[in-house]
């Protein structure tokens, strides 16, 4: 399996990442362990989580996903060395635990390391921009963590092109660590936000891209085709926005391609992402071994130019 670099860093990853937002939310610890074991046994290595996962669940405080991942690592067997461990900081954990100030980052990284049961994080990402904190303060804090050996590489998530460019300029001017990766919202139904302005920056500056919501929260699997379908899972309540002519057209194009390739619609959607320039590894989640295997097939299929054109045209329909 051909691996890809995360930006200019020395981190080499398989072309599909596992999204750890499901750990402790839609899958329990036992199933999380099974999924992680299977993921690495298949030769994949990038696992992405965040300190705030899964604070949105009633009764949760955040840190649930990292805790389960840490328990998996603690089983031994070289598990830590088999993965590229990515987590994030910046989303609110409480009224006072939020943002990207130096104080917040230093407290958060130690809490994450404790939950993850490891002495270092491979990719530490700013979960969202913090306009209240100077970029130099944030980036200097990250740089100090790299020098201390607690973090190997840093990345950004949910940054605008303007702010990403500004952050890269600050890093260059101050000769401190720069963001090597970007984690944006990007999929067949959410293209403009990334392609219009962020894509050129990533190409020019050699930033590795690891898009989240690669399957549009499951819509691109073909599971949700009517209002009635939205009740099939906790994520369905947010997918009504895709139930329009454009969404139907994209699903129809995925249906046709999946029949030709002998795989699922989600598999095709991920393969389309992998075909795009700058993409290091799309992030996708699974709640069963069978579902995970179907997603991993995306690295084995080849979307030809005709299929790619049909998918592009469908996704470019009127909003």
Nearest-angstrom CA–CA distance, 23 and 286: 10
Check if 179 is active-site: no
Closest CA to 183 of 7, 3, 1, 2: 7
d(CA 140, CA 102) in angstroms, rounded, equals: 8
Terminal alpha carbon distance of the chain: 37
- List, as own/partner pairs, every contact residues 240-247 make where C-beta atoms lie below 8 angstroms and the sequence separation is at least 24, other chains included: 242/189, 242/216, 245/317, 245/318, 246/189, 246/314, 246/315, 246/317, 246/318, 246/319, 247/189, 247/219
CA separation, residue 245 to residues 252, 317, 319 (Å): 10, 8, 8
Find all residues with CB under 8 Å of 15, minimum gap 6, and list them.
Answer: 1, 2, 3, 4, 274, 280, 281, 299
Residue 250: strand, helix, or coil: helix
Task: Compute the distance between CA of residue 112 and CA of residue 133 in angstroms, rounded to an integer.
Answer: 21
Rounded to 5 degrees, φ, ψ at 105 are -60, -45
Catalytic residue, candidates 53, 124, 159, 224: 53
CA-CA-CA-CA torsion for 4, 201, 130, 217, nearest 10 degrees?
-60
Residues serving a catalytic function are 53
């Amino acid at each position: 399996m051909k691996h890809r670099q995360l930006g200019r860093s020395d981190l080499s990853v398989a072309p599909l990442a596992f999204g750890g937002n499901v750990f402790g939310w839609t899958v329990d610890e036992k199933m999380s362990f099974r999924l992680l074991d299977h993921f690495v046994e298949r030769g994949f290595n990038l696992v992405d989580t965040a300190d705030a996962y899964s604070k949105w669940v009633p009764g949760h405080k955040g840190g649930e996903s990292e805790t389960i991942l840490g328990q998996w690592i603690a089983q031994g067997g070289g598990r830590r060395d088999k993965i590229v461990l990515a987590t994030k900081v910046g989303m609110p954990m409480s009224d006072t635990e939020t943002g990207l100030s130096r104080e917040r980052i230093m407290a958060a990284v130690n809490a994450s390391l404790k939950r993850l049961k490891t002495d270092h994080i491979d990719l530490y990402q700013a979960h969202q921009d913090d306009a209240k904190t100077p970029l130099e303060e944030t980036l200097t804090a990250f740089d100090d963590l790299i020098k201390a050996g607690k973090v190997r590489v840093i990345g950004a998530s949910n940054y605008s092109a303007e702010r990403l460019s500004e952050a890269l300029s600050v890093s260059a001017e101050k000769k401190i660590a720069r963001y090597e990766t970007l984690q944006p919202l990007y999929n067949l139904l959410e293209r403009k936000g990334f392609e219009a302005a962020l894509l050129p920056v990533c190409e020019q500056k050699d930033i590795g891209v690891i898009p989240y919501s690669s399957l549009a929260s499951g819509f691109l699997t073909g599971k949700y085709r009517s209002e009635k379908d939205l009740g099939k899972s906790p994520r369905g309540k947010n997918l009504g926005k895709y139930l329009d002519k454009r969404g139907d057209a994209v699903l129809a194009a995925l249906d046709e391609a999946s029949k030709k390739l002998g795989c699922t619609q989600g598999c095709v959607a991920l393969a389309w992402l992998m075909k795009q320039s700058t993409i290091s590894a799309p992030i996708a989640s699974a709640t069963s071994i069978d579902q995970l295997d179907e997603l991993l097939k995306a690295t084995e299929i080849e979307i030809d130019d005709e299929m790619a054109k049909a998918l592009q045209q469908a996704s470019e329909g009127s909003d």
